[in-house]
Amino acid sequence: MSDSVQSEALVKLQNVSKHFGEGDARVDALREVSIEVYPGQVIGLLGPSGSGKSTLLNVIGCILEPSSGWVNLDGETVYDGHWLRSDLRKLRLEKIGFIFQSHNLIPFLDSTDNVAIVLNLAGFSTVEAKARAIELLEYLEVGQRKKAFPALLSGGEAQRVAIARALANRPRIILADEPTAALDSVRAGIVMDLLRKVAAEQQAAILAVTHDEKIYDRFDHIFYLRDGRLETENT
Protein backbone atom coordinates (compact mmCIF):
# COMPACT_ATOMS: atom_id res chain seq x y z
CA MET A 1 0.00 0.00 0.00
CA SER A 2 1.27 3.48 -0.90
CA ASP A 3 2.74 5.54 1.95
CA SER A 4 0.39 8.38 0.99
CA VAL A 5 -2.74 6.34 1.60
CA GLN A 6 -5.11 7.94 4.10
CA SER A 7 -7.70 6.22 6.27
CA GLU A 8 -10.92 7.19 4.44
CA ALA A 9 -11.59 5.28 1.21
CA LEU A 10 -12.54 7.34 -1.84
CA VAL A 11 -14.25 4.38 -3.50
CA LYS A 12 -16.31 1.91 -1.46
CA LEU A 13 -18.48 -0.82 -2.92
CA GLN A 14 -20.34 -3.39 -0.83
CA ASN A 15 -21.97 -6.46 -2.38
CA VAL A 16 -22.48 -4.79 -5.74
CA SER A 17 -24.09 -6.99 -8.38
CA LYS A 18 -25.05 -6.21 -11.96
CA HIS A 19 -27.01 -8.43 -14.30
CA PHE A 20 -28.35 -7.96 -17.79
CA GLY A 21 -31.55 -9.63 -19.00
CA GLU A 22 -33.84 -12.00 -17.16
CA GLY A 23 -34.64 -15.70 -17.01
CA ASP A 24 -32.62 -17.94 -19.33
CA ALA A 25 -31.12 -14.86 -21.00
CA ARG A 26 -29.79 -13.40 -17.74
CA VAL A 27 -26.07 -12.62 -17.61
CA ASP A 28 -24.48 -11.88 -14.23
CA ALA A 29 -21.74 -9.37 -15.04
CA LEU A 30 -20.88 -8.59 -11.38
CA ARG A 31 -21.56 -10.83 -8.40
CA GLU A 32 -21.47 -9.26 -4.92
CA VAL A 33 -18.30 -7.26 -5.48
CA SER A 34 -16.87 -5.40 -2.48
CA ILE A 35 -13.83 -3.17 -2.88
CA GLU A 36 -12.22 -0.13 -1.25
CA VAL A 37 -9.72 2.23 -2.86
CA TYR A 38 -7.88 4.89 -0.86
CA PRO A 39 -6.30 8.28 -1.62
CA GLY A 40 -2.90 7.87 -3.23
CA GLN A 41 -3.55 4.36 -4.53
CA VAL A 42 -3.17 3.18 -8.12
CA ILE A 43 -5.19 -0.02 -8.56
CA GLY A 44 -5.14 -2.49 -11.46
CA LEU A 45 -8.24 -4.43 -12.50
CA LEU A 46 -7.29 -7.62 -14.34
CA GLY A 47 -9.20 -10.56 -15.72
CA PRO A 48 -10.17 -12.32 -18.95
CA SER A 49 -12.53 -10.77 -21.46
CA GLY A 50 -16.08 -10.83 -20.15
CA SER A 51 -15.02 -11.07 -16.51
CA GLY A 52 -16.73 -7.82 -15.52
CA LYS A 53 -13.82 -5.35 -15.46
CA SER A 54 -15.36 -2.69 -17.66
CA THR A 55 -18.77 -3.22 -16.04
CA LEU A 56 -17.20 -2.56 -12.64
CA LEU A 57 -15.49 0.57 -13.94
CA ASN A 58 -18.78 1.82 -15.42
CA VAL A 59 -20.64 1.18 -12.15
CA ILE A 60 -18.03 3.16 -10.21
CA GLY A 61 -18.25 5.85 -12.88
CA CYS A 62 -22.03 6.07 -12.39
CA ILE A 63 -22.61 5.15 -16.02
CA LEU A 64 -24.21 1.76 -15.32
CA GLU A 65 -26.74 1.34 -12.51
CA PRO A 66 -26.06 -1.68 -10.26
CA SER A 67 -28.75 -4.30 -9.83
CA SER A 68 -28.08 -4.32 -6.09
CA GLY A 69 -25.52 -3.24 -3.51
CA TRP A 70 -24.10 -0.01 -2.07
CA VAL A 71 -21.70 2.53 -3.60
CA ASN A 72 -19.93 5.40 -1.81
CA LEU A 73 -17.72 7.85 -3.71
CA ASP A 74 -15.54 10.45 -2.02
CA GLY A 75 -17.50 10.23 1.22
CA GLU A 76 -20.96 10.38 -0.39
CA THR A 77 -23.29 7.39 -0.69
CA VAL A 78 -24.46 7.62 -4.30
CA TYR A 79 -26.25 4.26 -4.67
CA ASP A 80 -28.19 2.23 -2.13
CA GLY A 81 -30.72 0.11 -4.00
CA HIS A 82 -31.23 3.12 -6.31
CA TRP A 83 -29.35 6.25 -7.32
CA LEU A 84 -29.44 8.89 -4.59
CA ARG A 85 -28.53 11.69 -6.99
CA SER A 86 -30.97 12.90 -9.64
CA ASP A 87 -28.24 14.48 -11.80
CA LEU A 88 -25.58 11.84 -12.49
CA ARG A 89 -23.87 14.03 -15.09
CA LYS A 90 -23.17 16.62 -12.41
CA LEU A 91 -21.99 13.87 -10.06
CA ARG A 92 -19.47 12.67 -12.65
CA LEU A 93 -18.25 16.21 -13.29
CA GLU A 94 -17.74 16.73 -9.54
CA LYS A 95 -16.08 13.47 -8.55
CA ILE A 96 -14.76 11.44 -11.49
CA GLY A 97 -12.23 11.74 -14.30
CA PHE A 98 -12.15 9.28 -17.20
CA ILE A 99 -9.18 8.11 -19.29
CA PHE A 100 -9.65 5.70 -22.21
CA GLN A 101 -7.48 3.54 -24.47
CA SER A 102 -8.25 5.89 -27.33
CA HIS A 103 -7.59 9.44 -26.16
CA ASN A 104 -10.92 10.60 -27.70
CA LEU A 105 -9.62 14.14 -28.18
CA ILE A 106 -11.80 16.44 -30.28
CA PRO A 107 -9.90 16.77 -33.58
CA PHE A 108 -10.80 20.40 -34.34
CA LEU A 109 -9.73 21.69 -30.88
CA ASP A 110 -6.13 22.27 -29.84
CA SER A 111 -4.71 20.72 -26.67
CA THR A 112 -5.70 23.64 -24.47
CA ASP A 113 -9.29 23.71 -25.67
CA ASN A 114 -9.60 19.91 -25.41
CA VAL A 115 -8.89 20.26 -21.69
CA ALA A 116 -10.79 23.51 -21.17
CA ILE A 117 -14.04 22.15 -22.61
CA VAL A 118 -14.65 20.09 -19.45
CA LEU A 119 -14.43 23.23 -17.36
CA ASN A 120 -16.68 25.11 -19.76
CA LEU A 121 -19.30 22.40 -19.24
CA ALA A 122 -18.89 22.80 -15.48
CA GLY A 123 -19.65 26.51 -15.72
CA PHE A 124 -16.17 28.07 -15.63
CA SER A 125 -15.48 31.15 -17.73
CA THR A 126 -13.37 30.78 -20.88
CA VAL A 127 -10.47 32.63 -19.24
CA GLU A 128 -10.56 30.46 -16.11
CA ALA A 129 -10.92 27.27 -18.13
CA LYS A 130 -7.97 28.01 -20.40
CA ALA A 131 -5.74 29.05 -17.49
CA ARG A 132 -6.50 25.78 -15.68
CA ALA A 133 -5.95 23.79 -18.90
CA ILE A 134 -2.51 25.33 -19.49
CA GLU A 135 -1.61 24.74 -15.83
CA LEU A 136 -2.43 21.04 -16.21
CA LEU A 137 -0.61 20.65 -19.52
CA GLU A 138 2.48 22.15 -17.89
CA TYR A 139 2.06 19.86 -14.88
CA LEU A 140 1.98 16.83 -17.18
CA GLU A 141 5.03 18.09 -19.09
CA VAL A 142 3.25 18.67 -22.36
CA GLY A 143 2.78 22.45 -22.06
CA GLN A 144 4.89 23.04 -25.16
CA ARG A 145 2.11 21.34 -27.17
CA LYS A 146 -0.70 23.51 -25.82
CA LYS A 147 -1.57 24.90 -29.26
CA ALA A 148 -1.15 21.62 -31.14
CA PHE A 149 -4.12 19.79 -32.63
CA PRO A 150 -4.59 16.06 -31.89
CA ALA A 151 -3.44 14.96 -35.35
CA LEU A 152 -0.03 16.52 -34.67
CA LEU A 153 0.48 14.88 -31.26
CA SER A 154 2.37 11.64 -30.68
CA GLY A 155 0.49 8.82 -28.97
CA GLY A 156 2.13 9.60 -25.65
CA GLU A 157 1.45 13.32 -25.96
CA ALA A 158 -2.20 12.74 -26.84
CA GLN A 159 -2.63 10.48 -23.81
CA ARG A 160 -1.10 13.14 -21.55
CA VAL A 161 -3.58 15.69 -22.90
CA ALA A 162 -6.35 13.17 -22.21
CA ILE A 163 -5.08 12.80 -18.64
CA ALA A 164 -5.06 16.59 -18.27
CA ARG A 165 -8.68 16.63 -19.42
CA ALA A 166 -9.55 13.94 -16.85
CA LEU A 167 -7.98 16.09 -14.12
CA ALA A 168 -9.54 19.37 -15.25
CA ASN A 169 -12.26 19.57 -12.61
CA ARG A 170 -10.02 18.26 -9.82
CA PRO A 171 -11.76 14.90 -9.37
CA ARG A 172 -10.35 12.63 -6.67
CA ILE A 173 -11.41 9.46 -8.50
CA ILE A 174 -9.75 8.64 -11.84
CA LEU A 175 -11.03 5.71 -13.91
CA ALA A 176 -8.84 4.45 -16.75
CA ASP A 177 -9.87 1.82 -19.30
CA GLU A 178 -6.79 0.30 -20.98
CA PRO A 179 -4.90 3.63 -20.74
CA THR A 180 -1.62 2.28 -22.18
CA ALA A 181 -2.77 -0.38 -24.65
CA ALA A 182 -2.00 1.81 -27.67
CA LEU A 183 1.47 2.84 -26.39
CA ASP A 184 4.88 1.22 -26.58
CA SER A 185 6.59 0.15 -23.36
CA VAL A 186 8.51 3.42 -22.89
CA ARG A 187 5.47 5.67 -23.39
CA ALA A 188 3.30 3.31 -21.31
CA GLY A 189 5.76 3.60 -18.43
CA ILE A 190 5.78 7.38 -18.70
CA VAL A 191 1.97 7.55 -18.62
CA MET A 192 1.78 5.24 -15.59
CA ASP A 193 4.45 7.23 -13.77
CA LEU A 194 2.40 10.36 -14.41
CA LEU A 195 -0.68 8.66 -12.99
CA ARG A 196 1.28 7.64 -9.90
CA LYS A 197 2.42 11.25 -9.55
CA VAL A 198 -1.19 12.44 -9.77
CA ALA A 199 -2.31 9.89 -7.18
CA ALA A 200 0.41 10.87 -4.73
CA GLU A 201 0.37 14.65 -5.15
CA GLN A 202 -3.38 15.14 -5.51
CA GLN A 203 -4.37 12.30 -3.16
CA ALA A 204 -6.51 10.75 -5.88
CA ALA A 205 -7.66 7.15 -6.20
CA ILE A 206 -6.91 5.67 -9.62
CA LEU A 207 -8.41 2.44 -10.98
CA ALA A 208 -7.19 1.08 -14.30
CA VAL A 209 -8.55 -1.83 -16.32
CA THR A 210 -5.64 -3.35 -18.20
CA HIS A 211 -4.24 -6.37 -20.00
CA ASP A 212 -0.88 -4.62 -20.34
CA GLU A 213 1.70 -6.76 -18.53
CA LYS A 214 4.43 -4.15 -18.94
CA ILE A 215 2.73 -1.83 -16.40
CA TYR A 216 1.84 -4.35 -13.67
CA ASP A 217 4.73 -3.16 -11.51
CA ARG A 218 3.24 0.38 -11.42
CA PHE A 219 0.20 -0.70 -9.35
CA ASP A 220 -0.10 -0.65 -5.57
CA HIS A 221 -2.62 -3.51 -5.73
CA ILE A 222 -3.98 -5.73 -8.47
CA PHE A 223 -7.52 -7.11 -8.23
CA TYR A 224 -8.58 -10.07 -10.37
CA LEU A 225 -12.10 -10.53 -11.69
CA ARG A 226 -13.42 -13.82 -13.02
CA ASP A 227 -17.04 -14.42 -14.03
CA GLY A 228 -18.06 -11.27 -12.21
CA ARG A 229 -16.45 -12.19 -8.90
CA LEU A 230 -13.52 -10.47 -7.25
CA GLU A 231 -11.31 -13.49 -6.67
CA THR A 232 -7.94 -12.41 -5.34
CA GLU A 233 -5.90 -9.37 -4.48
CA ASN A 234 -2.18 -9.23 -5.17
CA THR A 235 0.00 -6.65 -3.40
Is 156 inside a domain boundary?
Answer: no
- Domain assignment present for residue 115? The answer is no
Range of the domain at 180: 11-103+162-234
191 occurs within a structural domain: yes
Q: How many domains does the chain have?
A: 1
Say what the pLDDT of residue 144 is.
94
Give all strands (DSSP E) within 23-171, no chain letters. Answer: 27-37, 42-46, 68-73, 76-80, 96-100
* 40 domain-assigned: yes
- 52 vs 234: CA distance, rounded Å: 18
CATH number at residue 54: 3.40.50.300
Report yes or no on 136 lying in a domain.
no
Angle, nearest 10°, between helix axes 111-121 and 126-139? Answer: 130
Q: Is residue 19 part of a domain?
A: yes
196 within domain boundaries: yes
* Torsion angles phi and psi, residue 84, rounded to 5: -95, 0
pLDDT tens, residue order, the chain (235 aa): 444 444 699 999 999 999 998 888 888 899 999 999 999 999 999 988 888 898 999 999 999 999 999 999 999 999 999 999 989 988 998 899 998 877 889 999 999 999 999 889 888 899 999 999 999 999 888 999 999 999 999 888 998 899 899 988 889 999 998 888 877 888 888 888 888 988 998 899 999 998 888 888 889 999 999 889 987 655 4
